[in-house]
Amino acid sequence: MKSFILFTTFLFLLVSCNRKMAAGNNPETASSTLTLRFENSAGNQRVAMNGDRYTNATGEAFSVTLLQYFISNISLKKTDGSVITLPQDSSYFLVKESVPESKQITLTVPKGNYASVSFMLGIDSLRNTKPLAERTGILDPAGGAEGMYWGWNSGYIFFKMEGHSAAIPDNKAGTKKFRYHIGLYGGMNSPTVNNIKTITLDLKDKQVAKAGPGKKPVVIINTNILQMFTGTENISIAKNPVVMVSPFSKYIADNYASMFSLVAVDNQ
Amino acid sequence: MKKTFLSKRLVTSLGLFLAIALAASFTVRQELFHQPANFPDPVYNTGANPVTDAGFTLGKKLFYDPILSADYTISCGSCHIQAAAFSHHGHDLSHGIHDLLGTRNAPGLQNLAWYSRYMWDGGITNLDLQPIAPITNPVEMGDTLSAVMRKLNSHPQYPGLFEKAFGTDSITTDLVMKALSQFMISLVSADSKYDKVMRKEGASFSPDETLGFQVFQEKCASCHPEPLFTDQQFRSSGLPILEEGDEGRYLVSLDSNERFTFRVPSLRNLKFTFPYMHDGRFYTVDEVLDHYASGISHATRPDPAFKLPDGSYGIPVSPDQRKALKAFLLTLNDTAFVKNPLYDEAGSQLYIK
């Protein structure tokens, strides 16, 4: 009896799976993929964590030992004006300079011509307050988000960059290390700094991304970390080697909102 | 043939049901989490994490297990001791791994399901997220969450205990925190003399306590309202700045109006939770009352609640009023709570079946 029930359940599951797969193959609702490829640079140089030195707007030379940031809440606008918003649960990504695969985000999208792409740098305020059961994978503070979550001030770190600069005055440890850990989603019970930034890149500047059967466009995005140091407020590493939960973080976030630019659309 | 089979099944299920019901009536000696009659509805969503025998038992084991620290030396219970109403008995500040010292006084743990924010600065917005802070704080338990998950998943007992509590032996952040929360919200303290008077359970205040209750209502209740004896707001007590100059809630809210403010602590179990204030600077209730009488410093922008008609700050009480107030405050001590074997580390096997 038991085995019969198990077998029937198995058959039922098999059938339902097949149905889903069939729906995926339906030409009416055919889906393709669109890839966002992030290339981290410092001006004209590629970011490398091998001691290479870059120079910021203040003229300070620095090297990078860690660079990672959350990209989330991705939406795409078609040339006909319709907007495709990716299912939120599968719309959180952590781009890590040290993990090449993480710099390519491949999205399943309906076929069509895409004119622009929008994404959040950071994690939306709602997800910052969700139960842990809804923070798995890349959002799990013990998993993918380890090191990108503040346990003492509930919330995610959106952008993290660390490195060394000789411009930094000797601190107690004498490491001349800078640490920028930028987060803050605006506060749950009372308002605080909101460093969530939404970025929109117009693909038409280069060419629309054409997704369809056999067409899997790649949108190449340059993330220029030098932008973090310049804007309405220039950031001096010597003056502000450590910025985490502070009002000053706002200036860094305002600056890094403009660090993304479109390199090319590769309509493969 | 079929009929016999069905009726057999029916009898078996009925028997099973009775057996479960019987077992339940024997094992549930005391409701683990309950809402006292004189308490409002809890804030914690027990619907999403109902307290069960197995979950409570697991949460308690985790609470008292130093496996949550980097070098297996510090458990939650190291700094939250039952006899001290889950505060760190007599310590102004607490020492974590490698004898490193924290910057704030470990608060007592009680009635946590009625709080909407945790820690002295309210930086944590959900009880399920709270244990992450001490586990990962380098001067407390100094571990990483991923290491904790690895240790628990490869432990000889824990996977089985999670299976019992949550139906899966795959240990996740969510389930570890839920188990800890089940134990922590079960720490309900509502059996003090005050509670018994309020619930008309045969207790009554002495004349001194009655007068003290009046003084309390007039001078203290605006910030320490019943029945939790805290309004959970962030206020500055006008404590003079010591060398470290802890900026309190400002560090998480970045609101300059909240500089030097800390969460108003509950006055329940006051006798067990000394020393007092966010940095444990006062060891006696008298020192606290002396501070409020004449020690408030303008440097830390005292809360307007302390402002007197003449523009100065303080809570003046006459010697008789102070004596009465202290008598009333003693009625907030819940001896049954600090002695309840259900929460006792040594009794941690009680509920393992």
Which tens digit of pLDDT belongs to each residue from A90-130? Answer: 999 999 999 999 999 999 999 999 999 999 999 999 999 99
Report pLDDT for A205.
Answer: 87
CB contacts, 8 Å: B128 with chain A: 131-132
Provide, as residue numbers in chain B, all residues whose Cβ is less than 8 Å from the Cβ of A132: 128-129, 173-174, 177-178
- Per-chain mean pLDDT for chain B: 91
Residue A224 phi, psi dihedral angles, 5° rounding: -95, 105
Name which of A8-12, B76-80, B323-327 the model is least confident about: A8-12
* B133 contacts A151? CB cut-off 8 A: yes
Contact B129 A153 (CB under 8 A): no
**Distance of residue B253 Cα from the nearest chain A Cα, in angstroms:** 5
**CA distance linking residue A150 with residue A99, whole number of Å:** 22
Query: Binning pLDDT at 50, 70 and 90, where does residue B278 land?
Result: very high
Output the pTM of the full model: 0.87
Contact (CB, 8 A) for A209 and A27: no
User: Residue A2 — very low, low, confident or very high, per pLDDT cuts 50/70/90?
Assistant: very low
| Encoded tokens for B344 | 């006792």
* Per-residue pLDDT at A266: 96
Residues in B touching A247 (Cβ below 8 Å): 254
Handedness of CA B90, B96, B100, B105 (dihedral sign): negative
Contact B129 A192 (CB under 8 A): no
Q: What percent of chain B has pLDDT over 90?
A: 86
A192: closest CA of chain B, how far (Å): 5
- Please list every residue in chain B whose beta carbon sits closer than 8 Å to the beta carbon of residue A153: 123-124, 251-252
Chain A residue whose CA is closest to B249:
A153
Residues in chain B closer than 8 A to A193 (CB atoms)? 254
Closest alpha carbon within chain A to B123 = A153
How far apart, in whole angstroms, are the C-alpha atoms of residue B46 and residue B31?
Answer: 14
Q: Is the pLDDT of residue B348 over 70?
A: no
Say yes or no to pLDDT of B17 above 70: no
The pair of three-digit structure tokens given for residue B205, joined into one six-digit string = 């205040």
Domain extent listing, chain A: 30-266
Pick the residue with more confidence: A13 or B245? B245
Query: A182 to chain B, minimum CA–CA distance in Å?
Result: 13
Give the closest-approach CA distance of A265 to chain B in angstroms. Answer: 38
Residues B152, B176: contact at Cβ < 8 Å?
yes
Q: For B166-198, give one letter per residue: b (16+ CB within 10 A) or e.
A: beeeebbbbbbbbbbbbbbbbbbbbbbbbbbbb
The alpha carbon of residue B89 is apart from the nearest alpha carbon of chain A, in Å, by: 23
Contact B125 A129 (CB under 8 A): yes
Alpha-helix runs per DSSP H in A26-161? 125-128
Q: Cβ neighbours of residue A206 under 8 Å, at least 6 residues apart?
A: A262, A263, A264, A265
Integer Cα distance of B69 and B99 in angstroms: 13
State how far residue B236 is from chain A, nearest Cα, in angstroms: 17
Pairing relation of β-strands A218-224 and A31-42? parallel
CA–CA–CA angle B281, B282, B285 (5° rounding): 160
Instruction: Please list every residue in chain B whose beta carbon sits closer than 8 Å to the beta carbon of residue A246.
Output: 254
A contacts of B172 (beta carbons < 8 Å): 136, 140, 142
| Residues of chain B found within 8 Å of residue A146, distances taken between Cβ atoms | 144-146
Mean pLDDT in residue range B181-208? 98
Phi-psi region of B204 (alpha: psi -120 to 50; beta: other; left: phi over 0): beta
| The pLDDT of residue A262 is above 90 | yes
| Residue B137, number of CB atoms within 10 A of its CB | 17
pLDDT at B31: 80
For residue A25, what are its two tokens?
């193959």
For residue A7, the model assigns a pLDDT of 46
* Whole-number pLDDT of residue B346: 78
* Interatomic CA distance for residues B204 and B193, integer angstroms: 8
pLDDT band at B345 (very low <50, low <70, confident <90, very high): confident
Residues on chain A touching B133 (C-beta within 8 angstroms) = 151-152
User: Which of B129, B166, B233, B234 is the best residue to mutate to test the A interface, defined by the most A CB atoms within 10 Å of its own CB?
Assistant: B129
Chain pair A-B, CB pairs under 8 angstroms: 79
Query: For A191, which residue in chain B has the nearest alpha carbon?
Result: B253
* Least CB–CB distance from A141: residue in B48, B173, B178: B173
How confident is residue A22, by pLDDT bands cut at 50, 70 and 90?
very low
DSSP-H helix ranges across chain B? 2-27, 53-63, 76-79, 132-136, 145-153, 158-166, 173-185, 193-198, 207-219, 250-253, 285-290, 319-330, 335-339
Q: Which residues of chain B neighbour A157 with C-beta distances below 8 Å?
A: none
Nearest CA in chain A to B150: A142
Query: Closest chain B residue to A189 measured between Cα atoms?
Result: B125
The verdict on whether omega for the bond into residue B227 sits within 30 degrees of 0, i.e. cis, is yes
Chain A residues contacting B via beta carbons under 8 Å: 129, 131-133, 135-136, 140-143, 146, 149, 151-154, 184, 187-193, 245-247
CB contact under 8 A, B254 and A133: no
Query: In Å, how far is A98's CA from the nearest CA of chain B?
Result: 19
Residues of A in contact with B255 (CB under 8 A): 190-192
Radius of gyration of chain B (CA): 23
Check residue B352 and give its pLDDT: 39
Lowest mean pLDDT among A57-61, B134-138, B341-345: B341-345
* Distance (Å, whole) CA B260 – CA B300: 6
Q: Which of A128, A138, A152, A248 to mutate to test the interface with B (most CBs of B within 10 A)?
A: A152
